[in-house]
C-alpha cells in the first residue's frame, strides 16, 4: 500500500503514546480495568466515546469499548466525528486506503466510501478535514486491541450543522444501521467551565442524548448557548456527529441508550478545577426482551418502598437483592395508591440509571411531586400500595390500526410536545383505538387536531406489576 494512500497518525505522541509497546500496554490496562455492563440478550449497536488524551479520557473511552465482544465480526466500523479545524457543507468521507496508528494499519472501506460520495451531494472528500483531526484517530487503538478479528472502517467528519443537510446524509446512511456494522460516535462534553458546573451541564446533556430525538438534541444545544455558565464554550463539541447518528437511528426498533461512565478532566491530572472538560461514555443497545420473575418483582417493590421510606427518614428492612434484571436500564412508571385511590403516577422512557434506582426515585416523585394529587403524608405509608410498569422499547407505527388494545401503550410526539398512556388506560375506559390516541394527544401531549395529523406515534409493551393483584405485599 503506497504511503500516499495512507492517512498518517497525527496525534500519536501527544494524545497517546507513539511507542507501540507502551500504547498496547496502556490500552490493554484500561480495557482490563473497565466493567462490562451488557447482558446476554443485548446487542451492541453503537458507542458514544470521548476523544481527549488518554490520560484524561482513556478510562471513560475504555468503559464503552469493553462492551464490544472480542470475537465480534463486523463488516465495517463507521466512525463519526465533528470537525475541530475546518467548516464545510456536508460530511467528509475519507478516501485514503488506510489509517495508521503505532499498532499498525486499519483498512478503510474505500469502495463504500466512493459509492456514498457518488450517491449523495452532501457526502464528499475534504482531505484537510481528516489530516490533523484527532477525534477519530484516537478511537482506533482501542478497536485494534479489543477486536480479535480484522475490521474495516468508514471514517466520516461532519463539517456543519445545517439541519436539512444532516437529515439528507442520514437518509443516505440509514441502510448501514445493521447488526453487521458498529457505529462509533466521537465527542467530548462540556469545555472549560468549573468542576461543579461541568458535572451539572454534562448531566443535562446526557439526558438530552438519551431521548434519541435529533429535534430535542438540537433544541437543547441551541438553548444552552443562551445559558450564562462561566467559562462554558460548548457543552458537546461533537454534537453534530451525535445529531447525524440520531437522525439515522431514530426510527430503529428497540434501541436503548445507556450511560456507562462519566468523568471530567478535574478527576484526573488537573489540580485546578476552575477549567475542565467533561467526558461521558454511552452505549446504544438493542434488546431482545426482558422477564421479571416473582422474586425480581418483590425486590422491585422493596426498592420502590425504600425510596419512600428514606424520603420520610424511616428505615426499610434490608434483604438480599439479585443483580439481574434490576440493573438493566429500562423505562418505568410508578403509581402510588392510598386505600385503593390513585395518589400519583410518574415515569420515564429515557432512564439514566438502573431500574432498581429508577423506581426508588419515581416512587418519591409519584407520591410527593405529582402536581395533580395531594402530596403523600408520612402517616399514610401503612395504607399505601404500589404499581410498577416496566417499559419495553418504543416502536414507531404508521397507522392507528397497528395498536393492540390491552397490549400496547402509546406515545405521541410532535416537535417538543409529547404524551403517553399505559396499556391499562384504554382498557379501563373502554376506548377504541381512535379514542385512545385522541385522548392521549389532546389531554396528555396538548396537541391540536392539526398537530396530531403530523405527530409521530409509537407503541410499547410493558410488564405491569401490582402489589395487590400479584400478591406481593408480604415480602
pLDDT tens digit sequence for 171-205: 999 999 988 999 999 999 999 999 999 999 999 99
Nearest-angstrom CA–CA distance, 334 and 376: 14
- Of 409, 390, 407, 391, the C-alpha closest to 458 is 409
- pTM (2 decimals)? 0.71
- The answer to whether the bond into 473 is cis (omega within 30° of 0) is no
For the ranges 64-78, 199-213, 293-307, the lowest mean pLDDT is seen at 293-307
Range from 39-43, 71-75, 173-177 carrying the lowest mean pLDDT: 39-43
pLDDT for res 328: 77
Q: How confident is the model at residue 473 (pLDDT cuts 50, 70, 90)?
A: very low
Cα separation, 277 vs 255, in Å, equals 28
**Domains of the chain in sequence order:** 3-287 (3.40.830.10), 294-466 (3.30.700.20)
* Residue 62 backbone class (left: φ over 0; alpha: ψ -120 to 50; beta: rest): alpha
Contact of 351 with 285, CB cutoff 8 Å: no
Q: Which residues of 217-309 form beta strands (DSSP E)?
A: 255-264, 278-287
Q: What is the pLDDT of residue 474?
A: 40
pLDDT digits (tens, 9 = 90+) for 334-392: 999 999 999 999 998 878 788 899 999 999 999 999 999 999 999 999 999 999 998 88
- Contact between 256 and 39 (Cβ < 8 Å): no
- Name the least confident of 174-178, 218-222, 251-255, 304-308: 251-255
DSSP for 310-331, written as a single string: HHTT-PPPP-----TTTTS---
C-beta separation of 123 from 90 below 8 A: yes
Between CA 433 and CA 437, with CA 435 as vertex, the angle to 5 degrees is 70
Task: Band the pLDDT of 409: cuts 50, 70, 90.
Answer: very high
Give residue 475's pLDDT: 34
Amino acid at each position: 500500500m503506497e504511503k500516499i494512500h495512507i492517512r498518517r497518525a497525527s496525534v500519536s505522541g501527544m494524545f497517546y503514546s507513539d511507542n507501540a509497546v507502551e500504547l498496547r500496554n496502556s490500552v490493554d490496562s484500561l480495557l482490563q480495568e473497565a466493567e462490562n455492563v451488557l447482558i446476554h440478550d443485548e446487542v451492541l449497536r453503537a458507542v458514544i466515546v470521548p476523544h481527549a488524551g488518554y490520560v484524561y479520557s482513556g478510562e471513560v473511552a475504555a468503559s464503552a469499548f469493553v462492551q464490544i465482544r472480542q470475537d465480534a465480526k463486523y463488516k465495517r466500523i463507521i466512525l463519526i466525528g465533528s470537525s475541530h479545524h475546518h467548516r464545510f457543507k456536508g460530511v467528509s468521507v475519507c478516501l485514503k486506503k488506510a489509517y495508521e496508528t503505532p499498532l499498525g494499519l486499519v483498512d478503510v472501506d474505500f469502495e463504500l466510501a466512493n459509492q456514498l460520495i457518488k450517491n449523495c451531494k452532501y457526502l464528499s472528500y475534504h482531505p484537510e478535514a481528516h489530516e490533523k483531526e484527532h477525534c477519530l484517530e484516537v478511537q482506533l487503538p482501542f478497536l485494534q486491541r479489543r477486536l480479535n478479528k480484522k475490521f474495516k472502517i468508514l471514517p466520516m467528519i461532519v463539517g456543519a450543522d445545517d439541519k436539512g443537510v444532516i437529515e439528507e446524509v442520514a437518509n443516505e446512511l440509514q441502510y448501514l444501521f445493521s447488526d453487521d456494522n458498529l457505529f462509533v460516535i466521537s465527542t467530548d462534553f462540556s469545555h472549560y467551565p468549573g468542576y461543579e458546573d461541568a458535572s451539572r451541564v454534562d448531566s443535562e446533556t446526557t439526558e438530552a442524548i438519551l431521548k434519541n430525538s435529533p429535534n430535542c438534541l438540537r433544541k437543547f444545544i441551541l438553548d444552552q448557548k443562551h445559558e450564562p455558565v462561566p467559562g462554558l464554550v460548548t457543552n458537546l463539541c461533537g454534537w453534530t456527529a451525535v445529531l447525524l447518528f440520531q437522525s439515522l437511528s431514530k426510527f430503529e426498533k428497540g434501541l436503548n441508550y445507556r450511560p456507562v461512565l462519566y468523568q471530567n478532566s478535574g478527576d484526573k491530572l488537573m489540580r485546578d478545577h476552575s477549567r475542565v472538560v467533561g467526558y461521558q461514555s454511552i452505549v446504544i443497545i438493542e434488546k431482545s426482551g426482558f422477564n421479571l420473575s416473582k422474586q425480581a418483582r418483590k425486590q422491585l417493590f422493596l426498592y420502590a418502598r425504600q425510596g419512600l421510606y428514606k424520603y420520610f427518614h424511616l428505615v426499610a428492612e434490608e434483604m438480599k437483592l439479585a443483580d439481574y434484571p434490576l440493573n438493566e436500564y429500562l423505562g418505568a412508571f410508578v403509581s402510588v395508591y392510598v386505600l385503593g385511590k390513585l395518589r400519583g403516577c410518574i415515569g420515564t422512557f429515557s432512564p439514566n440509571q438502573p431500574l432498581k434506582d429508577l423506581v426508588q426515585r419515581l416512587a418519591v416523585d409519584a407520591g410527593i411531586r405529582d402536581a395533580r394529587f395531594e402530596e403523600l403524608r408520612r402517616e399514610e405509608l401503612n395504607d399505601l400500595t404500589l404499581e410498577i410498569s416496566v417499559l419495553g422499547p418504543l416502536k414507531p407505527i404508521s397507522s392507528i390500526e397497528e395498536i393492540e388494545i390491552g397490549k400496547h401503550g402509546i406515545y405521541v410526539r410532535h416537535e417538543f410536545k409529547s404524551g403517553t398512556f399505559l396499556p391499562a388506560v384504554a382498557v379501563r375506559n373502554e376506548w377504541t383505538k381512535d379514542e385512545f390516541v385522541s385522548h392521549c394527544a389532546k389531554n396528555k401531549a396538548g396537541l391540536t387536531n392539526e398537530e396530531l395529523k403530523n405527530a409521530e406515534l409509537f407503541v410499547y409493551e410493558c410488564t405491569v406489576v401490582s402489589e395487590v393483584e400479584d400478591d406481593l405485599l408480604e415480602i
